[in-house]
Structure 1
């Protein structure tokens, strides 16, 4: 049995993304509407996801485009406010994802009692955001220093909008990451949010590290989730839950419920 059962309550877990609107410091923050509007939009998505039956939620600053790899303090503060105001209404386990800064994600998790974070912890990449470097050893030491050792670390090993500077086989990456860094889960992604996870790559990763939780991380749809869950231990789902399946839209409760009905049938 994996930690998913203990922390989230089920194997083959579906972690739903809750994409926060642009916040103070973000280029597209709506100053006229302010933080109250950001909180209200997050509340609407939270209600839709919970009523639709997802297993867990991951709060993310998905609309802080273009992303930073050294996130500013105002972003973490704003995210903490949103989660803090919504906390009395949260009925299921949740995690956080401060794009793309693992230390900031840990800080937010520690402040909000989040159960897990997802980040790029390892590797050096050529990305849309420039040269993208990481320091997993430093990050894990920071995790221990702030008392967040119980926060599960979900390693995205196929970064969105980025590629390894040196050509590396995905099986080598999975094997060395598990040996060197002891991730709680490996996340296998497509090119961007909403882009399909390659089932072949997902299968290669799972077979290479069968004792590690492996999650399908992007592009899971109602017509593909059954096949993906035959391979993966669970999935992180965002875009397909939104009205018309579009990244920029809010969550559609009807789409969530229909998707989760398929998931529950697959589990049974």
Structure 2
């Protein structure tokens, strides 16, 4: 049965082009930057405050992220996974908007948590292979989606990256060819793609090129969104995940700043 990916995408979020705010967890137990003095209770309380900012300002969704756990590994580890699941469970009870999860380089854990906590989507690397800052990373879609099926998580929508980040692709095909191929052989809900490069116009971005190539595949503008480019980029993407530009001093690992978040959502809605 052929799927209508765009229609499924709209129904998932209740709108055509959802604006998704990142809720970045602090470094989790067992990871290099973990601070044992930062209690689980404080972690939950701080993220709840950020979640309420997103809801108050009218963001269409939220996504939990563990970018502070670098350097990333392919298996997050039991301690970090348990902490991630507890934090997401407690914070998500406050949410009245759709939410997703992402666990860097570990699609199996992401799918597991998404199913357990009721997330409507995952983002991360579920496709492709690359080598770079975190070593060699190879994803086997057949194994990943068979695992999802085995735990009853086939309904969790996956917006997968496939372009290398901090590395080089081991796939010699062009980005456009990969874009127009992966969705035919995997049950992805859409793609997460990198934003415009420095000094590159939105109309020249790979997102714009791929949307022109096949407008029927949802594209998540996954990084690089800011008040200056968001209005133009919304012409080419179907979803935006935004993190750094919302934060205090525009630093990824700072908490969400109300005024910065308001400036972004105002620009997006304009």
Q: TM-score, normalised by structure 1?
A: 0.92
Counting only pairs closer than 5 Å after superposition, residues 202-217 of structure 1 correspond to structure 2 as 202-217=207-222
Pair 116,185 (structure 1): closer, same or farther in 2 beyond 3 Å: same
CA distance in 1, matches of 2:257, 2:230: 18
- Residue 229 of structure 2, aligned match among 224, 228, 245: 224
Residue 68 in structure 1 maps to residue 84 in structure 2: no
On the 8 A contact 1:121/1:134 being kept in 2, the answer is: yes
What's the secondary structure of 1:33's corresponding residue?
A: coil
- Residue 107 of structure 1, aligned match among 84, 109, 112: 112
Q: Deviations over 1:198-248 (max 9, x none)?
A: 652111111222211011110100010011001111211111111121212
Pair 195,185 (structure 1): closer, same or farther in 2 beyond 3 Å: farther
Pair 174,80 (structure 1): closer, same or farther in 2 beyond 3 Å: same
CA distance in 2, matches of 1:20, 1:196: 31
The range that moved more, 116-125 or 45-54, is: 45-54
On the 8 A contact 1:160/1:191 being kept in 2, the answer is: no
User: How many matched pairs?
Assistant: 264
CA distance in 1, matches of 2:222, 2:73: 20
1:51 aligns with: 56
2:3 aligns with: none
What's the secondary structure of 1:139's corresponding residue?
A: helix
CA distance in 1, matches of 2:199, 2:90: 32
On the 8 A contact 1:195/1:218 being kept in 2, the answer is: no
Residue 160 in structure 1 maps to residue 165 in structure 2: yes
1:10 aligns with: 15
Unaligned runs of 5+ in 2: 1-5
Cα displacement (A) at 1:7: 1.3
Residue 255 in structure 1 maps to residue 269 in structure 2: no
On the 8 A contact 1:190/1:196 being kept in 2, the answer is: no
Cα displacement (A) at 1:154: 0.4
CA distance in 1, matches of 2:87, 2:179: 34
Residue 139 in structure 1 maps to residue 113 in structure 2: no
1:80 aligns with: 85
On the 8 A contact 2:160/2:192 being kept in 1, the answer is: yes
On the 8 A contact 1:216/1:235 being kept in 2, the answer is: yes
On the 8 A contact 1:188/1:216 being kept in 2, the answer is: yes
Residue 237 in structure 1 maps to residue 242 in structure 2: yes
Cα displacement (A) at 1:24: 1.1
Cα displacement (A) at 1:197: 9.6
Q: Deviations over 1:21-42 (max 9, x none)?
A: 0121111111122212221221
- Residue 116 of structure 1, aligned match among 118, 121, 128: 121
Unaligned runs of 5+ in 1: none
On the 8 A contact 1:159/1:191 being kept in 2, the answer is: no
The range that moved more, 58-67 or 2-11, is: 2-11
Q: Deviations over 1:148-193 (max 9, x none)?
A: 111101011223212212432111110111122132111111599x
Pair 239,191 (structure 1): closer, same or farther in 2 beyond 3 Å: same
1:246 aligns with: 251
